Structure 1
Amino acid sequence: MTPDGHRRLILIRHAKSSWDDAEMPDHDRPLNPRGKRASAELGQWLASRDYLPDQVLCSTAARTQQTYAALGLEGAPEPELARALYHAEPETMLAALKAATGQVVMMLGHNPGIAAFAALLPAEPPHHADFARYPTAATLVVDFEIDSWAALEPHRGSALDFFVPSGRD
C-alpha cells in the first residue's frame, strides 16, 4: 500500500496476443502462449514487490482481460471493464483514472495510447531502453502525492519501477 495522501498507478500493456486466426476481430484476440508466460512472470514480479491493486480498470478486449487473469494475484479485485479503454487515447485514460476511487489502481490497455499515457505521468521517465515503445506486458509503477485521483496532473508522478517480462517481444 501507499502512505496516506498518495496514490499509486500500475499501468500495464496487455501481453502478446495470438494472430493465428486472421479473420478474428481484433477485440476478441486471445493471448498466445508467450503472452500467458509473460503475464505469469509479471504477476510474480508484482507480488514480489507487493504491488497489489485495490481497483482494476481494464479494457474490454479479450487480451487485456486474459493478461489480468494470468497475473494470478491472490486477493486482487475483479476488474472493472471499460470499453472506452480499448485502444484509448491518453486523454481517455486520464479521464478514467481521474474517476478512480482506489488508492492503488491497476490499468490495463493498449498501444499506442498506453505508451503516450505513460510518458505523461512521471516528472522524470524511468531510465529503461524499452520505456518509449512500451512493449507487450510492459508495466510502469508510478506514485502521486495526491489525496484523490481527481487531483492528478501530468508530469507530477514519481516512477518507482518499470518492468518488461523476459518472455515478450
Structure 2
Amino acid sequence: MKTLYMARHAKSSWKHDVIDHQRPLKGRGKRDGKLVSEYVATNYKAPQKMISSDAVRALTTAHYFKDTFKVADADFTTNHSLYDFSGQNVMDVIKSLDNNQDCVMIVGHNHAFTSIVNMLGSEYIDNLPTCGFVILEFDIDDWSQVSTGKTTTMVFPRHLKND
C-alpha cells in the first residue's frame, strides 16, 4: 500500500515585482498554511518523505507542513520538476519515488495538481484550492505502478473556517 499526500501551495501574492518562481505567499496564504497544516498534522500520520516545488510559494507552504508534521530535514527536499503546471513532470516524480517509503507528501501547483488528483483519485475535484490537501491511497508496492487509487481525504481551508 502506498499513500500520497498532495498539497497545492497556499495563496500567493501578485503585488511584488518578481518572476513567477519567486512569488511569496500573501497574508491569507500564511494563515491558511498554518490552519491546514496544523489540522492535518493533528489528524493524520506524518509522511516519511516530503518533496516540494522549489518555487517560493510552494516551498513556504511546504515548510508549514514540515514543521507541524515534524519532518526531519533529511526527509525533506525540493524538486524543480514539481514546478510544473501540466502534470507530466509531477507524474514522473511520483512514479520514481523510493519504494522504501510508503507515505510521501508532495507540494506543488495547479493545474497539474487538480489534474493529477482527478486522474489518480476516486473523487472528482473541480479545482484543488490553494492550500488544499488530498490523500490518495494505492493498492500497490511499487510507485512506478501508480494508477487510479482511492481519494480518502480532502482538507481545504474553507472546511476549517467558521465564516
| TM value normalised by structure 1 | 0.85
Q: Percent same amino acid among aligned pairs?
A: 26
CA contact (8 A) 1:85 1:109 kept: yes
Residue type matched to 1:98 in 2?
K
Q: Identify the match of residue 139 of structure 1 among 110, 125, 133.
A: 133
Q: Is the partner of 2:30 in helix, strand or coil?
A: helix
CA contact (8 A) 2:58 2:108 kept: yes
Structure 2's unaligned 5+ residue stretches are none
Structure-1 separation of matches of 2:83 and 2:19:
13
Residue type matched to 1:84 in 2?
S
Q: How many pairs align? A: 154
**Deviation at 1:40?**
0.8
Residue in 2 aligned with 1:3?
none
1:31-110 correspondence to structure 2 within 5 Å:
31-71=25-65, 72-78=67-73, 79-101=76-98, 102-110=101-109
CA contact (8 A) 1:17 1:35 kept: yes
| TM value normalised by structure 2 | 0.88
Q: 1:77 to 1:103 in 2, by over 3 A?
A: farther
Structure 1's unaligned 5+ residue stretches are 1-5
CA contact (8 A) 1:42 1:165 kept: yes
Larger fraction in helix: 2
Q: Which runs of 4+ in 1 moved over 3 A?
A: none
CA contact (8 A) 1:54 1:77 kept: no
RMSD value, Cα = 1.5
Structure-1 separation of matches of 2:126 and 2:46:
24
